[in-house]
């Protein structure tokens, strides 16, 4: 099972990799629907990690 940080890193890597390889993202200033989805997934994971950290401070 992946840790929270590993999931965040994977989501960020997926987003960056998509931006580099997608013709539509490269040709236009607006990201395509897939890029938006990947960014949203990363943001949701980040938000959940912050909530978890706030619930269980070290």
Query: What is the enclosing helix (H) or strand (E) of 4?
Result: helix 4-21
pLDDT, tens only, 17-51: 999 999 999 888 889 999 999 999 999 999 998 98
pLDDT for the residue 57: 65
pLDDT for the residue 43: 96
Helix axes 4-21, 33-55, angle to 10 degrees: 160
**What is the value of pTM for the model shown?**
0.83
């Amino acid at each position: 099972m992946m840790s929270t940080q590993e999931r965040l890193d994977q989501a960020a890597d997926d987003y960056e990799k998509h931006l580099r390889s997608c013709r539509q993202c490269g040709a236009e200033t607006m990201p395509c629907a897939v890029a938006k989805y990947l960014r949203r997934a990363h943001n949701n994971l980040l938000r959940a990690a912050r909530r978890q950290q706030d619930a269980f401070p070290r």
